[in-house]
Structure 1
Amino acid sequence: MDTTQTTSMKRGFRAFTARHLDQLTARAGLPPDERLAVRAVAEVLPFRTNNYVVDELIDWSSAPDDPIYRLMFPQKDMLPEEDVAHIAGLLRRAAPQHEVQQAAHRVRMRLNPHPAGQVQLNSPVMDGHVLEGMQHKYRETVLFFPRQGQTCHAYCTYCFRWPQFVGEPGLRIAADGGVQALVDYLLAHPEVTNVLITGGDAMIMSASVLRQYVEPLLALGQIESVRVGTKALAFWPRKFVTDPDAADLLALFEQVVRSGKNLALMAHFSHPRELETPIVEQAIARIRSTGAVVRTQAPLIRSINDSPEVWESMWRRQVRLGMVPYYMFVERDTGPADYFAVPLVRAHEIFRGAYAAVSGLARTVRGPSMSTTAGKVCVDGVAELAGRKVFALHLIQARDPDLVGKPFYAEYDPAAVWLSDLKPAFGDRFPFEESPAREVSVGR
């Protein structure tokens, strides 16, 4: 490794936030009026990146069209033109911050921050009290949101959990207490065998803080797997290599594996370039040396990874590096979803094109999958049944376990981007609906 790479690997973390936007978007060649529009969007949606992304992942000679740039930086057409113009006007005349915040709040509330009330629907109840910072949607799996993990090393522009990062307390999902409430709930629900520690990004926590949440789970015989959701491998791989507590973090991973539990890092990689730096290869190797498994997932995002070639390249490289391709998701109906959405027909074409081009080792991946209120709905393709063109679908995971794996069909609609855009092809409701489809709103 040359001296430049060695120096880069040792460089400490530096965050760039909205106050750096004007400087960074100028570097991308945006004129002043467009830079102001980007700042207006950043008043509504969160912006945060870091020196690793800026220095080693973004190709500034291709910005603002570079896919990693688009993955990181707000675009002026992510929000309705009139909303952007209004907030930009406030910024231009240096309006009081409370006016800007009020305008931003009004826009956020129209962006479907928690689709179909999934936070309330999935929040477990114990002894008559809602357990904040937990979700129990599927029988075997509980999601846990530690208070200290409610940020990320950098924010993806498409992130469906953007409400975690915008300073709206009523929109955040976080466990304000310690791990004991989680342990008590698990003991009361022996059917739960998997815990997913997520956020934000669980890897934003120090090793010592993460240990406080993980170690109590190791004493529970019912727990088979501990999962950790993270984008750190893509956006801050130094977490596992050169950060001060990297060795302690890897020792914790080894402890989980020695305890007889499966440890799975649920790593988000959105583009092949995130897998190309020497330090990410080193980070992956160090994690795998502990016995942990790295499973990869990402949504399909228009203008960033919406081609079979991108996914084929990503899955091939992931397998070469010893990771397990896991999910291709469909972008959820929240935030700037319309900006990023890909029609389901095209989503399946992209998935199938990439899937057909890789070996069986990469065909562990499932998708394109929609994380809906009912469960994870997979688009299996377009078929002709009884003389009708239909979507073939099935539930990979479901709130009702009896529905897992059972096929069902929807009327063909080339413009559909989500389950709520579809109508049952046979009958008046989908299998998971308790009343006719026309009366039920199925959220993303």
Structure 2
Amino acid sequence: MTLLDLDTRAALAPRSISGDRLRKLVAERTGDPVLGHEAHVVSQVLPFKVSSYVIDELIDWGRAPDDPIYRLTFPHRDMLEPEHFALIEQAVAQGDRGTVRQAVDTVRAALNPHPGDQLSMNVPQHDDIDGSGMQHKYSETLLVFPRQGQTCHSYCGYCFRWAQFVDTPDLKMAMSGPEAMTRYLDLHPGITDVLLTGGDPLVMRTELLASYLEPLLEPGREHVETIRIGTKAVSFWPYRLLAGPEADDLLRLLERLTAAGKHVAMMLHLSHVAELQTDAARTALARLASTGAVLRAQAPVVRHVNDDPRTWADLWQAQVRNRVVPYYMFVERDTGARPYFGLPLARAVDIYREALQRVSGLGRTARGPVMSASPGKVVVDGVVDLDGGRAFALRFLQARQADLVGKPFFAKYDEHAQWWDDLRPHGPRDREFFGAGGNA
């Protein structure tokens, strides 16, 4: 791709396909009008958006609907429970907006829109600070949700923050400007890490992004040592990082932050090695790395997209080649389309272990499989045989109750368990760990 081509693409807003146009696109590209109809029905409930880059450069339409990037981004009827799909399909057939809305609200409420007690336990409570656009679950880390960054260039079908993207304001976390963040930081000098998340902060203009980041360089906020930015732009719209004033201004912003002594971590959401096989993506990663930022990658292990060891081994090796540090293999959260994407923990453990065997030490930095549950980040270290029977060996990597971090504990083995809430203590000494999550 020539520089002229890059400049042309960067100057264009990513063309996204959404709404009723989805039905026609799927039918035309796959040759199956039934798939188009089903995608249209599911998209009434779960948000759908896809960029022209994903359509034209990432999806192998000859393999669709079984292409992993197609499965990652396009709706499928099995993303909803059969009774939910039938309810929405019937409402859509009636053609009445009120009926559709009522059915959609009913189904969304059943999909656990904010898992892990995000709204009930993570949102800061201050009489004089609006904490609705922040989360403070772990003492050293503050999550910030800029209002202008609460969308993405494309949506992942398994996204646990799908509720951020639907037309229900009460479900959304967002702050309108940096003032609440800076006031909160000034009152909490123990916070060392600020994470801008969404959505995707890189959908924002660089000027807006800077309004949240540059205050972290001001005197009195030296306690903020690490700045993290969560993004999937490398995968879904790498032109944001490649050419044009917005891209160049973003790189200069990251350079200013690193030159000021901040550890800048770009938290890249990379689900499949196909996302790193275009010249645009690889060039975007090189430009990011040139700023001094550390590139780290994470994603959940999910059915239909990356549920085999070879895919993860290839992904980690590609990350290392492109100066990206493998960081987390997550477990799909208990929300949204988990019945379609979720895997048993026992299978996730096997995938992780077998993938590690295929890579060198530099590819083994990813922790996993990890459940980001209400009590904390729980890693499943494996399956062991104890006196009382088989068990999952577990550890907290992070926890609301900090003194639990790093201590091994065990859960009864359950071949069908997919999430923290499915697990039970293996023995009496394990109960304190499960009491932290309410399932002792």
* TM-score normalised by the chain length of structure 1: 0.94
- Cα gap change, 1:251 to 1:294, in 2 (>3 Å): same
Q: Are the aligned partners of 1:408 and 1:430 in contact in 2 as well (CA < 8 Å)?
A: no
Q: Which moved more, 1:98-107 or 1:408-417?
A: 98-107
Q: Structure 2 CA distance, aligned partners of 1:43 and 1:311? A: 32
428 and 262 in structure 1: CA distance in 2 versus 1, 3 angstrom threshold: closer
Question: In structure 2, what is the equivalent of residue 123 of structure 1?
Answer: 123
Letter in 1 for 2:171: L
Q: Distance in 1 between matches of 2:239 and 2:34?
A: 36
Between 1:307-316 and 1:115-124, the stretch displaced more is 115-124
* Partner secondary structure for residue 294 of structure 1: strand
- Quick one: structure 1 residues 273 and 408, their matched pair in 2 at CA, closer, same or farther if it must change by over 3 Å? same
Shift of 1:337: 0.7
**Equivalent residues in 2 for 1:301-312, closer than 5 Å:** 301-312=302-313
- Asked if the contact 1:37/1:85 (under 8 Å) is kept, the reply is no
Q: CA deviation at 1:394?
A: 0.2
Asked if the contact 2:411/2:430 (under 8 Å) is kept, the reply is no
Change beyond 3 A, Cα 1:316–1:132: same
Deviation at residue 218 of structure 1 after TM alignment:
1.4
- Larger mean CA deviation between 49-58 and 17-26 belongs to 17-26
Residue matched to 2:420: 419
Question: What are the within-5 Å matches in structure 2 for residues 190-201 of structure 1?
Answer: 190-201=189-200
Residue in 2 that maps onto 1:82: 83
Offset, 1:357: 1.3
2:350 pairs with 1:349: yes
Q: Distance in 1 between matches of 2:321 and 2:116?
A: 39
- Superposition deviation, residue 36 in structure 1: 1.9
Q: For residues 116 and 247 of structure 1, do their structure 2 counterparts lie closer, same or farther at Cα, with a shift above 3 Å needed?
A: closer
Task: Report the Cα offset of residue 8 of structure 1.
Answer: 8.0
Other structure's SS at 1:125 match: coil
Partner AA of 2:327 in structure 1: Y
CA contact (8 A) 1:240 1:283 kept: yes
Residue 101 (structure 2) pairs with residue 101 (structure 1): yes
How far residue 434 of structure 1 moved from its aligned partner, in angstroms, is 4.1
Equivalents in 2 of 1:117, 1:275: separation in Å? Answer: 34
Kindly provide the amino acid, as one letter, of the partner of residue 316 in structure 2: W
The 3 A distance-change label for structure 1 pair 8 and 316 is farther
Rounded to whole Å, the distance in 1 between the matches of 2:269 and 2:351 is 18
Change (3 A) 1:3 1:209: closer
Deviation at 1:387, TM superposition (A): 4.9
Question: Could you tell me whether the CA contact under 8 Å between 1:123 and 1:130 is conserved in 2?
Answer: no
Q: Output the CA distance in 2 between the equivalents of 1:117 and 1:6.
A: 43
Deviations 1:218-246 (A, max 9, x none): 12110110000011111011100125411
* TM-aligned CA deviation for residue 102 of structure 1: 1.5
Q: What SS does the corresponding residue of 1:431 show, helix, strand or coil?
A: helix
Q: Is the 8 A contact 1:355 1:363 kept in 2?
A: yes
Distance between the aligned counterparts of 1:385 and 1:92, measured in 2? Answer: 55
In structure 2, how many angstroms separate the alpha carbons of the residues matched to 1:49 and 1:402? 43
- In structure 2, do the counterparts of structure 1 residues 30 and 7 end up closer, same or farther at CA, with 3 Å as the change threshold? farther
SS in 2 for 1:391: strand
Q: How does 1:213-232 map to 2 (within 5 A)?
A: 213-219=212-218, 220-232=221-233
Q: Determine the C-alpha separation between the residues in 2 that align with 1:166 and 1:313.
A: 34
Q: Which consecutive residues of structure 1, in runs of 5 or more, have no partner in the other structure?
A: none
| Residues 170-319 of structure 1 mapped to structure 2, 5 A cutoff | 170-176=170-176, 178-219=177-218, 220-319=221-320
User: Per-residue deviation at 1:10?
Assistant: 5.2
- In 2, Cα distance between the equivalents of 1:348 and 1:231? 25
Q: Give 1:89's aligned amino acid.
A: Q
Alignment partners' CA distance in 1, 2:426 and 2:116: 23
Alignment correspondent of 2:152 = 152
In 2, Cα distance between the equivalents of 1:30 and 1:378? Answer: 42
Percent identity for Structure 1 against Structure 2: 48
Going from structure 1 to structure 2, the CA distance change for 1:324 and 1:231 (only over 3 Å counts) comes to same
The alpha carbon displacement at 1:33 in A equals 3.7
State the Cα deviation string for residues 374-397 of structure 1 (Å, max 9, x = none). 100000001112252111000011
Please give the alpha-carbon distance, in whole angstroms, between the structure 1 residues aligned to 2:100 and 2:212: 38
Show the counterpart of 1:114: 114
| CA deviation profile, 1:101-149 (whole Å, cap 9, x unmatched) | 1111110000011124322200112246551110011111000001111
What secondary structure sits across from 1:357 in the alignment? coil
Matched, 1:48 2:52: no
Structure 2 residue ranges without an equivalent (≥5): none
**Aligned mates of 1:173, 1:10 — CA distance in 2:** 29
Q: Is the 8 A contact 1:78 1:336 kept in 2?
A: yes
Secondary structure in 2 matching 1:297: strand
Structure-2 residue corresponding to 1:140: 140
Q: What is the DSSP-based 3-state SS (H/G/I as helix, E as strand, rest coil) of the residue aligned with 1:148? A: helix
The residue number in structure 2 matching 1:168 is 168
C-alpha separation between the residues in 2 aligned to 1:409 and 1:55? 46
1:348 and 1:154 map into 2 onto residues whose CA distance is 29
Amino acid at match of 1:208: E
Residue 361 (structure 1) aligned with residue 359 (structure 2): no
Cα distance in 2 for residues equivalent to 1:166 and 1:304 = 23
| Secondary structure class of the residue paired with 2:428 | coil
1:16 is matched by which residue type in structure 2? I
